[in-house]
Each structure stands twice: as structure tokens, then as C-alpha cells.
């Protein structure tokens, strides 16, 4: 599917090497996610839930509230991700 040797994947997991853009694109396509999601810049679940929860209209005050809550959620997710990574080490 992605045509990456197991040794390369092990190096990516250890942080010894970073995958090329070509490999990242193939992985994202294979998994059905965006590149931003794959590299941790976007949380599709949080974004979808926030979109469903709020009907963001043109009201700047409402948009600011939604953005503030999304930032809080993203910080919480990053903290959880960091804890998980420490546990896996």
C-alpha cells in the first residue's frame, strides 16, 4: 500500500528519521485522513463536534466564543497526547 520498509517505519517511530512528503501523502490517502490530521495539526473529531455543536454565524462575538472553546479543547488534547506518549516510552 504505502511501500515503506518496516525498518523505515521503526525509524519514524523512534524519531530517528522523518517520512518524506510523498510517504506522508500516501499514508494519509491510505488512512483516509488529511495531512494536517496525520501530523497532528488538526483534530477532525474535535472540529466536527464543534461544528455540529455550534451554528457559527457572522456574529463576531459568537465566533470568538467558539474559537476560545476550540483552543481550550485542543490544549486538552495536546496534554492528553503528551501524557500518552510519555506512558508509551
What count of residues does the chain have? 89
Domain residue spans in the chain? 1-40, 43-89
| Cβ pair 63, 56 in contact under 8 A | yes
pLDDT computed for residue 81 by the predictor: 84
pLDDT computed for residue 62 by the predictor: 65
| Cβ pair 36, 42 in contact under 8 A | yes
pLDDT computed for residue 40 by the predictor: 79
Residue that wins the pLDDT comparison between 78 and 58: 78
Whether pTM exceeds 0.75 = no
| Cβ pair 48, 21 in contact under 8 A | no
pLDDT, tens only, 36-76: 777 777 665 665 565 566 555 556 676 677 777 878 888 88
If 0-12 CB within 10 Å is exposed, 13-18 middle and 19+ buried, where does residue 15 land? exposed
Inform me whether the pLDDT recorded for 34 exceeds 80.
Answer: no
Amino acid at each position: 500500500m504505502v511501500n515503506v520498509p518496516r525498518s523505515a517505519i521503526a525509524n519514524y517511530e523512534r524519531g530517528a528519521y522523518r517520512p518524506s512528503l510523498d510517504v506522508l501523502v500516501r499514508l494519509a490517502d491510505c488512512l483516509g485522513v488529511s495531512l494536517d490530521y496525520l501530523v497532528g495539526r488538526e483534530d477532525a473529531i474535535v472540529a466536527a463536534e464543534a461544528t455540529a455543536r455550534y451554528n457559527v454565524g457572522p456574529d463576531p462575538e459568537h465566533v470568538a466564543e467558539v474559537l476560545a472553546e476550540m483552543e481550550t479543547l485542543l490544549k486538552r488534547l495536546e496534554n492528553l497526547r503528551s501524557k500518552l506518549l510519555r506512558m508509551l516510552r
